[in-house]
Amino acid sequence: MAEKFGKERVVVLDGYTLNPGDLSWNGFAEIGDLTVYDRTDPDEVIDRIKEATIVLTNKTALSEVMLKSAPKLRYIGVLATGYNVVDTAAAAAAGITVTNIPSYGTMAVAQMTIALLLEICHHTAHHSEAVFKGEWARRKDYCFWDYPLIELDQKVFGIIGYGRIGRQAAKIARALGMKVIAYSRSAKDPEIVSLDRLYSEADIISLHCPLTAETDKIINDQSISKMKNNVIIINTARGQLIDEEALASGLNRGKVYAAGLDVVSLEPIRPDNPLLQAKNCFITPHISWAPKESRQRLMEIAVNNLKQYLTGKPDNLVT
């Protein structure tokens, strides 16, 4: 028998990145009167949520002032893992339940981590483009390469943050013949080492930690100075984990061999971001979470979160 819910007013503030048209919102439509906005500017939020009982947001911020403007609001579903876009203290004070999606993209983000690393090792896109421009056809030899090519076997893969994604990245790294070491405040695995040891031993450093006061700009001038020469840095976690001026400097002077980044401190990236002018820096537009399979999983978890809340058994609670 189909579940029955009360007539809710459900508003999605920024649905486009989750569902640009290849998924379905039907799970939410079955719960109530659904309105989906592709994007919502800050000055549009109050008007759009004022009558809502349920609000879903990905990156659209919900401040205390905004929440106070929505007296009927009882539930906020964050369509992502990070929930800093919501003033959770104000939500709790107003009796508004907040949930998030903690583990939908583990495989996809770990895959992207290694994709960035392999691109650095082989410059696949560049060499393919060179072939299609006729460069290979003009050569006298049967092969050519424009950049040093790197074999990963026996390299040391250092992971900062050893949760679900970090562990999956470690699994792939081991399959490629790498030795894994990791830094974590909570994990007790045999590969756990001190942060200073990780900096000094790792050939590749991959970031998989949450953004906290401790990890804000954890990659900076001082930490880079402790790293091996020609270290490779990968970030598929949060852009604010990196001091971008420091990383650009490390790349341009050759201390850091390369960086593969799927996130930056301000998104969309600003034209004056120093990393856009840095040597051997690969930047993708925050797509590690975005394979269709991953987004479908996120959608299903978000619908289930709301159903669990409405049946009195909330899951993935933030407040």
H-helix or E-strand spanning residue 181: strand 179-183
Could you tell me which of 57, 89, 91, 50 has the C-alpha nearest to residue 72?
Answer: 50
Catalytic: 208? no
- Catalytic entry in 238, 244, 295, 297: 238
- Catalytic entry in 126, 267, 270, 293: 267
- What count of Cα atoms within 13 Å lies in the side-chain half-sphere of residue 53? 13
Catalytic: 238? yes
Catalytic: 126? no
Query: Which DSSP string corresponds to 26-52?
Result: HHHHTTEEEEE-S---GGGHHHHHTT-
- Catalytic entry in 48, 123, 286, 297: 286
Query: Which DSSP string corresponds to 213-225?
Result: TTTTT-BSHHHHH
End-to-end CA distance of the chain: 31
Per DSSP, the three-state class of 124 is helix
Residue with tokens 């978000």: 302
Number of neighbouring beta carbons within 10 Å of residue 192: 17
User: Residue 161: left if φ>0, alpha if ψ -120 to 50, beta else—which one?
Assistant: left
Could you tell me which of 314, 290, 302 has the C-alpha nearest to residue 102?
Answer: 302
Residue 38 sits at the vertex; the CA angle it makes with 35 and 43, to the nearest 5 degrees, is: 90
Q: In sequence order, which residues have a C-beta less than 8 Å from that of residue 189 and are 6 or more positions away?
A: 162, 182
Total number of residues shown for the chain = 319
Residues noted as catalytic: 238, 267, 286
